[in-house]
């Protein structure tokens, strides 16, 4: 392709498109690097150059956190898997818009929050926690203790689901997805100060909801 | 006494408050209590452990997403499909038009009409219009353009090769030719037809 490109005469008939040079996957010594060894930025470059297999690596690398993010919002395994697929499809379609001012993980979180909030918008919070994810109890766990932990977890999850949208998203990203306040600000398109304030109110409301539930039960 | 704002309480709870904020927290029981309450709520939230599906689930999910992404790639936008899949037909149409124009403007050609104003003898455009018997087209950039446009390239192949024009790029390349360049294109196409065998009945060199 490069010889053909060089054949265009200066000032002659010039196409108004340019040839894309496929980014090399070779390291400094000229050896081919496995895709799995490349960082996210290089994988994105390769995806943009048409290497779908590079996107497979992106998926393998980030599917777990994206799934867990989605599960925090929808609390149903099948829904979380569907939403995870939706997040990656949107990311693939919009890869050209990934500017690299945030990490790929933060960008995926941003897409994930939007997809999940749209999905749960208008949906009534279920009375009983839905949790059909296949949990694997740690080996040697006392079944009674495991059951109590699972119940407490479900209670907290239901309370988180009742938080206002922004507080809920902030709490999920900070506590469960372990994003920094700055990363959350990038993911939610807001300021670090606003993220911290939302986090403060989310935690206050979470305690309040759990206390109300506890007092309502006989 | 002004107490800490919510974001400052978060900083105190997370141990990253600046000196002034930390100093206030050290001497204000009310703000310290708020920070403690915050940490308490974080511990509560953390009592809901992350979901861990079976390890077998991840390859399944990755494959499912990979398939969806490939289906997405196969859903070719309309402009791409007609520009490229019909490229050979388009090239043939350009060829016929070019030959038609050639038939009408070449001096002495039966059916020629004064569609194009007469140009001064010896001008580049006039030279380009002169039918030439010994045309060397192999390395001619114009011919390379035509070859590129008419090559039977599938979208997938073109994408895989990394070469891809923007929407309408190929069409624009043709439309942007001026009269002289179109004449030159006609000449090259005619020469190519001559070297490749059967020539369209209306071709000037037939
Ligand atoms: Zn205070």
**DSSP E strands: which ranges in chain B?**
none
Instruction: Output the DSSP codes for B1-41.
Output: -PPPPHHHHHHHHTT---HHHHHHHHH-HHHHHHHHHHHHH
- A48 falls within a domain: yes
- Whether residue A115 sits in one domain with residue A27: yes
Asked if the structure places residue B202 within a domain, the reply is no
pTM: 0.62
Q: Is B28 within the bounds of a domain? A: yes
pLDDT digits (tens, 9 = 90+) for A38-68: 999 999 999 999 899 999 999 999 999 999 9
Closest CA to B131 of B107, B115, B147: B107
Is residue B97 located within the same domain as residue B182?
yes
Are B90 and B147 members of one domain? Answer: yes
Domain count, chain B: 2
Structural domain tally of chain A? Answer: 2
CB-based contacts of A63: which residues, under 8 Å, 6+ apart?
A: A84, A88, B58, B61, B62, B65
Residues B16-44 pLDDT 10s: 999 999 999 999 999 999 999 999 999 99
Distance between CA atoms of B85 and B76, rounded to whole angstroms?
11
Evaluate whether residue A149 is within a structural domain: no
Greater model confidence, A193 or B174: A193
A79 and A9 in one domain?
yes
Q: Å from B110 to nearest chain A CA?
A: 30
Question: Which of A111, A126, A141 finishes a domain?
Answer: A126
Residues B86 and B138 in one domain: yes
Give A101 or B70, the one with higher predicted confidence. Answer: B70
Is the pLDDT assigned to residue B156 strictly greater than 80? no
Element (H, E) at A170: helix A165-171
**Other beta carbons within 10 Å of B98:** 22
In this structure, are B93 and B166 located in the same domain? yes
Supply the pLDDT for residue B102. 53
State whether residue A137 sits within 8 Å of chain B by CB.
no
A81 and A4 in a single domain? The answer is yes
Is the domain of A109 the same as that of A13? yes
Query: Do A185 and A113 contact (CB within 8 A), yes or no?
Result: no
What Å distances lie between residue A62 and A53, A78, A186, CA to CA? 15, 18, 18
The nearest alpha carbon in chain B to A194 belongs to: B7
Domain hosting residue A185, numbered range: 162-218
Question: Do B83 and B177 belong to one domain?
Answer: yes
Q: Which of A59, A80, A171 sits opposite B65 (nearest CB)?
A: A59
Is residue A101, in this structure, part of any structural domain at all? yes
* Average pLDDT value over all residues in chain A: 84
Query: A153, B69: Cβ pair inside 8 Å?
Result: no
B39 and B108 together in one domain: no
Q: How does pLDDT run across A104-157, given as a tens digit for each residue?
A: 999 999 999 999 999 887 666 554 444 544 455 556 667 888 888 888 888 999
Is A145 near chain B, with CB under 8 Å?
Answer: no
Task: Name, in order, each residue with C-beta under 8 angstroms of A103's C-beta and a sequence gap of 6 or more.
Answer: A40, A183
User: What ipTM did this prediction achieve?
Assistant: 0.79
- % chain A with pLDDT above 70: 77
Quick one: average pLDDT of B156-185?
A: 50
Q: Which domain holds residue B38?
A: 6-46
Q: Quick one: pLDDT at residue B51?
A: 85
Q: Is the pLDDT of residue B128 over 80?
A: no
Question: Is B201 within the bounds of a domain?
Answer: no
């Amino acid at each position: 392709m490069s010889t053909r490109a060089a054949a265009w005469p200066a000032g002659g008939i010039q196409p108004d498109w340019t040839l894309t040079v496929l980014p090399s996957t070779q390291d400094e010594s000229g050896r081919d690097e496995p895709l799995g060894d490349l960082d996210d930025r290089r994988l994105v470059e390769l995806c943009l150059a048409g290497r779908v297999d590079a996107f497979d690596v992106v998926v393998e690398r980030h599917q777990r956190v994206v799934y867990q993010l989605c599960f925090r919002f929808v609390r149903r395994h099948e829904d979380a898997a569907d939403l995870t697929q939706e997040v990656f499809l949107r990311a693939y379609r919009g890869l050209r818009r990934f500017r690299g001012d945030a990490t790929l993980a933060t960008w995926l979180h941003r897409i994930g929050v939007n997809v999940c909030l749209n999905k749960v918008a208008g949906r009534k919070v279920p009375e009983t926690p839905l949790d059909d994810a296949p949990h694997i109890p740690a080996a040697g766990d006392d079944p009674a203790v495991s059951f109590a932990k699972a119940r407490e977890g479900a209670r907290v999850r239901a309370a988180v689901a009742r938080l206002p949208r922004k507080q809920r998203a902030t709490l999920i990203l900070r506590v469960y997805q372990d994003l920094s306040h700055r990363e959350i600000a990038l993911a939610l398109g807001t300021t670090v100060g606003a993220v911290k304030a939302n986090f403060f109110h989310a935690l206050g409301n979470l305690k309040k909801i759990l206390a109300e539930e506890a007092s309502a039960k006989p | 006494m002004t107490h800490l704002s919510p974001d400052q309480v978060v900083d105190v709870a997370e141990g990253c408050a600046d000196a002034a904020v930390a100093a206030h927290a050290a001497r204000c029981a009310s703000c310290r209590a708020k920070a403690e309450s915050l940490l308490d709520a974080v511990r509560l939230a953390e009592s809901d452990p992350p979901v861990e599906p079976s390890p077998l689930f991840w390859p399944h999910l990755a494959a499912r997403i990979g398939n969806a992404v490939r289906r997405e790639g196969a859903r070719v936008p309309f402009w791409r499909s007609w520009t490229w899949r019909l490229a050979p037909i388009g090239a043939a149409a350009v060829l016929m038009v070019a030959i038609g124009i050639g038939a009408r403007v070449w001096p002495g050609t039966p059916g020629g009409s004064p569609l194009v104003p007469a140009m001064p003898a010896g001008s580049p455009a006039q030279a380009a219009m002169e039918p030439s018997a010994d045309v060397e087209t192999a390395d001619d950039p114009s011919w390379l353009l035509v070859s590129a446009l008419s090559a039977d390239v599938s979208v997938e192949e073109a994408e895989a090769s990394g070469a891809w024009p923007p929407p309408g790029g190929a069409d624009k390349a043709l439309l942007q030719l001026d009269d002289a360049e179109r004449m030159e294109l006609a000449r090259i196409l005619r020469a190519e037809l001559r070297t490749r065998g059967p020539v369209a009945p209306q071709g000037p060199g037939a």
